[in-house]
Chain A
Amino acid sequence: MELSEVFLKRIIVCIKPIPDPKEWGRLRMDPDTKTLIREEIPSVINPLDKHAIEAALEIKDGCGAEVVLLAMAPLESRPVLREALAMGADRAVLLSDKVFAGSDTLATARILAAGIRKIGSSDLIFCGNLTLDGSTAQVPSQVAELLGIPSIMHVSGMDRMDGKRLLITQKIEQGHAKLVAEPPLLLALVKEANTPRYISFLEILAAEKREIATWSNETLKIDVSLIGMSGSLTKMEDLLLHEKKRRGIRLNGDSEEIARQLAEKLHQIGII
């Protein structure tokens, strides 16, 4: 996005540390407590959130807006936030409190919205379109609704028009739509929106010393009946092992023999 003069003062980017998707094979469910055993799987920043940060930084590079990262996560995820800071954001705020745990998407959105209000006035809020762990894609629209500002999901591009007007490209099933929108506005980005900048090892090292403001609910002062597990309107009733329906045959032999058996099977079921 090409920008010259200051037309946006502050951009808040909501990000989420998630268990590294490449290690999900190690995730297990405790059958008694029905909770996830993470077995010290390292956290990484949700991949799409990097595109959200990049979008904010491109505007910052053009017009000098302040870029603030915001996450709701356990305190242990601070190193992940520092790594995200290394991309070039001005500061990061971590919302962390035991009373936040177990929040469903609406309760999470309440906490993030409270954090956004506490940071102060902002022109744009960027999010990744979804996080890979839950994949609900529900939080961005809900944050915007609670803040009373418009939101656009599936954003694959943006350009400045005139004044404060932005031209937004939104992916739809059948193609794309072009929308005209003005701040304040929340945008949820897909990966086509940009290419996140490369962070050098030195930049990561330098970010290791940076402070991260940490706010508990003492700062946010949200009514605890509206957040956490008890404040969530959706309740988990039960957790069942996904039924495995088939117990198939195993093909043996050398590669040629296996390929022959496979082709024969394809013939039997009428494919070839």
Chain B
Amino acid sequence: MKPQHIGVFIEQRNHELLDVGLELLGKARQLADSSGGRVSALLLGKNLTTLAKDLIPYGADTVLKADNPLLEPYRLLPYTALLENICKIYDLDILLLGATRMGMELAPRLAARLNTGLSAHCIDLQLDADGKLLQMVPGWGGGVVATIKCPDHRPQMATVMPGVMKKPEPVSRTGQVLDLPVEEEIHISGPRVLEVHIEEPEGIPMEKAEVVVVGGWGIGGPEGWRLLEELAGLLCGAVGATRPPVDEGWASESQMIGQSGKTIRPRLYIGAGISGMTHHVVGMDESDCIVAINTNPKAAIFAVSDIAVVADYRKILPLLIKEIRARLRDSRIDTCEMP
């Protein structure tokens, strides 16, 4: 197998590394080791000296650092131009990016500029016998996963949603940080950023909650949604959704679980009124325990569930809430601790 040079775009905003970059470094490390190749972390922004060093324990052999005030805050066109140069100069075979809002905007533009293939929201990445990247992408509707390859163009590009790959444990290892030149003119073109407004997140983030109560199309409306919220509140959990409730406005986009939403691995997943489309399942099927409630005994969700309840959630959940209340009264707590 030909040694592969794997690049990982590391997203930072306000000097905070997003976990997805570290998760991808872990995956890139595995792939590089299996091919005798190496991993480069691509870090753009300003005052990055400390952040750059932090990347080596997560698996980077080299940190390619473009450190310049012109690169803060993120702007699409300068970042595209710089990444284009990096891909060409350092001859990357593979480039991985997080499917964050930044990555979703940046990756396709870069792929078009480099005239190479890109696959979105991969759930797994492997190398074939020739060292080419196999990109596993869930296909909609049919419960299938397509394996995509970009055989003839470089770099082979893929995006992965946050939480899909596991963040590696940092280990003591050696690596180097290279400073890249940034030319003034890349700043000229494109929209300018007037301000970046950071909002504090509310409640327990769904990705970190130990219990997630999830509703689908079958919930039927905001009234049923309140039942999910009550149950989640009781279990110190978060409420998640499939796509239709988000489209209907019962839930917000940040609550969406699945291929184009979040990936969760809670200790307990309780799903109500969910058919179990692959799009959703890829975002939850690594939960420790999956409970599904659906009136349709043939619903696909039951095939990925530990506990199946063929019933109307409107009947089950109020009784379950009552039952839990009775048990909690005997034992403990009236407040939830943040995980």
The residues of A with any CB-CB pair to B shorter than 8 Å are 21-22, 24-25, 27-29, 36, 47, 104-106, 109, 130, 132-142, 144-146, 150-154, 167-168, 170-181, 185, 190-191, 232-242, 244-251, 255-256, 258-260, 262-263, 265-267, 269-272
Contact = CB atoms under 8 A, between A and B. Distances in A.
Contacts of B141: 24-25, 27-29, 36
Interface string B55-82: 0000000000000000001001100100
B105 interface: yes
- Majority DSSP secondary structure for residues of A touching B: mixed
B337 interface: no
Contacts of A141: 76, 105-106, 108-109, 112
A271 B268 contact: yes
A163 to B, nearest CB: 14
Given A109-B112, A135-B279, A246-B290, A175 B316 contact: no
Given A145-B112, A266-B268, A154 B307 contact: no
A135 B260 contact: yes
Contacts of A250: 302, 307-310
B146 interface: yes
Contacts of B217: 22
B150 A235 contact: yes
Interface in B292-328: 302-311, 315-316, 319-320, 322-324, 327-328
B305 A246 contact: yes
Contact of B304 (A132, A144, A246): A246
B268 A177 contact: no
B281 interface: yes
B77 A150 contact: yes
B117 to A, nearest CB: 4
Q: What interface size band does chain B fall in?
A: 35 or more
Contacts, number: 263
Contact of A178 (B113, B194, B259): B194
Given A106-B111, A236-B147, A265-B307, 17 more contacts: A109-B112, A134-B140, A135-B120, A136-B120, A150-B76, A150-B189, A152-B105, A173-B101, A175-B197, A181-B190, A237-B134, A242-B278, A246-B303, A262-B307, A262-B309, A266-B268, A269-B267
B296 to A, nearest CB: 9
B1 interface: no
Contacts of A258: 309, 311, 316, 319
Contact of A263 (B106, B253, B304, B320): B320
B198 A256 contact: no
A239 B244 contact: no
